[in-house]
Structure 1
Amino acid sequence: MRLNEITYTGAQPVEGYGPGFFRIGGTVHHGALVILPSGIGPWGGYDDAETLVAAAEALDVLFIGTGAEIAHIPAPLRTTLEEAGLGVEVMASPAACRTYNVLLSEGRRVGLALVPV
């Protein structure tokens, strides 16, 4: 088996998560979180489309983690994001973190909005 070291350019992968928190770059962040090429910050949840739309030009796909279980996001949020040209993939937060990390390691233009587990 051949192992390759992964180098992340600029953006940081999700290192871990647990009840109510995410660990990124050695720092623990509590509550809903958004990770974009412009940085990491709190996310206002499903009512905060503006934060995500602002990054639309820098992203090819946005993963939305809905917590411990997969759930539908509100239709107005999905419509707003798609009209801004964002590809949106909705999944449970643990799966969203893993998928984001894989695509980030490939150098893809990805973003992540997370509801805590």
Structure 2
Amino acid sequence: MGQGAFAFGGMSHIGSLLLLPDGVRALAATTFAEVDEAALAPVLALPAGEVELLLFGCGPSLQPIPALLRNKLRDRGVRCDPMSTGNAAQTYNILLGEKRRVGALLIAVE
């Protein structure tokens, strides 16, 4: 991770990612400020309970999740936890290993 890229599963990807139980998706957002409802559409389209916690890797530092996005996710039963991208990636791996219903939105960092 770093230099605008992620390595996972023997592969690498340049740019931001959305990791969900049904797959990994590229995100167009290059900053957390660019994350909007359209970026979260795949999360909102999942059946209720599929993801209980969505980790937000906000980039190099913690940033607040806009109330509109947080409320939309909460209405679908998804809790949000913002943190730096590095911490979000590490936490995602731990929770996934525990078989938790977790997703992550990771903004790529240089």
TM bin, normalised by shorter chain, reads 0.7 to 0.9
Specify the SS of the correspondent of 2:49: helix
User: CA–CA distance in 2 between the matches of 1:106 and 1:49?
Assistant: 24
Shift of the alpha carbon at 1:44?
4.2
Aligned-pair Cα RMSD in Å:
1.4
Structure of larger gyration radius: 1
Unaligned runs of 5+ in 2: 30-34
Specify the SS of the correspondent of 2:99: coil
Which shifted more, 55-64 or 98-107? 55-64
TM-score normalised to structure 1 length: 0.79
Shift of the alpha carbon at 1:22?
0.9
Identity %: 38
User: CA–CA distance in 2 between the matches of 1:116 and 1:74?
Assistant: 19
1:65–1:92 CA contact under 8 A, matched in 2: yes
User: In structure 1, what residue type is equivalent to 2:9?
Assistant: G
1:91 counterpart = 2:83: yes
**Which whole-Å deviations, capped at 9, do the CAs of 1:52-109 have from their partners, x for residues lacking one?**
2123531121111001111112221111111111011111100001111111111111
TM-score normalised to structure 2 length: 0.83
Moved over 3 A (4+): none
Alignment: residue pair count = 101
